Amino acid sequence: MTLTLTVLGGSAAWPNPGQGCSAYLVEDGTTKVLLDCGPNTLLELRKHVDYTKLDAIVISHCHSDHILDLVPYRYGLIYGPGNSSLRIPVWLPPGGRERMEMLGGAFAGQGEPHASFWEPAFEMEEYDPAAGLTIGRLRISFAATQHYVECFAMRVDGPENRTLFYSSDTGSVQPLIGLVQGAEVVIAEATLDQSDDKPEAERGHMTPEDAGRLADAAGAHTLIVTHLWSERPDNVVEKTVSEHFRGRILIAKPGLRVDA
Ligand SMILES: [Zn+2]
Ligand SMILES: [Zn+2]
């Protein structure tokens, strides 16, 4: 039994040409979970899976590049042909419900309570990062990252000890070292250039060097580098990462599939 990851986006804060932002589909043959739901990623999701059949969506943090496609997803679940009674569980970080109600309020009908925008499509709950989540046969554990808002990296443990790790957005490798160990596939962001001269303690994003160090600490066989600007050539990112990680290095692209 494999644990398969499908990249649905991979852009940084806004979509690159032909590429949406953060969203990663994880499947173990039975359970299907979406990690984040950034803008312009539903169009890729729908190529790979029946969008009505996800077991859950887990959100790392409430920045727009990680949540915005929940809006069209909501419309699809309610108004898509034959979908009237579907509700997909959406697990949010602590404080996420209030943020999502504010977002829903912008689209809710006149006089409608803000929370009611999401209710027909999603069961929104906040996870307890210390307790983690069990979704089908997948176990999801969290570690708080260093970011501009509260944000959580995720480790997904599947059947037969298959494990993958998603850094979400973080300015430092350090808070993730404990959780990443043993992950076979690491998805790590590398938004900043090497030339960024901010001290690590003040960053909200990592560099390619950091992504390589994180995958190396995990002992991973594969690193998927993500949350990238298209203006920076892939081979420049790959070269820097390869100085810090000796396993397989892939650049996140929509439709890229990797087994843990
Ligand atoms: Zn962010
Ligand atoms: Zn982001």
Q: What is the pLDDT of residues 230-245, one digit of tens each?
A: 999 999 999 999 999 9
DSSP secondary structure string for all residues of 168-237: -S-S-SGGGHHHHTT-SEEEEE--S-TT--S-GGG-SS--HHHHHHHHHHHT-SEEEEESB-TTS-HHHH
The Å distance, Cα 63 to ligand 2 centre, comes to 6
Decide which of 1 and 251 is more confident. Answer: 251
The Å distance, Cα 167 to ligand 2 centre, comes to 10
- Residue reference for tokens 């679940």: 77
Q: Using CA atoms, how far apart are residues 146 and 154, in angstroms rounded to an integer?
A: 14
The Å distance, Cα 139 to ligand 2 centre, comes to 23
DSSP state of 100: H
Q: What is the pLDDT of residues 142-178, one digit of tens each?
A: 999 999 999 999 999 999 999 999 999 999 999 999 9
Q: Mean pLDDT score of the chain, rounded to an integer?
A: 94
| Cα-trace Rg, the chain | 17
pLDDT number for residue 40: 98
Q: Is pTM, for the whole model, over 0.85?
A: yes
The Å distance, Cα 13 to ligand 2 centre, comes to 6
Protein residues with C-beta less than 5 angstroms from the ion ligand 2: 65, 169
The Å distance, Cα 35 to ligand 1 centre, comes to 14
Q: Which ligand is nearest to the CA of 152?
A: 1
| Residue 243: Cβ-neighbour burial (10 angstroms; 0-12, 13-18, 19+) | exposed
Average pLDDT over residues 214-241: 97
Q: What is the pLDDT of residues 88-115, one digit of tens each?
A: 999 999 999 999 999 999 998 888 777 7
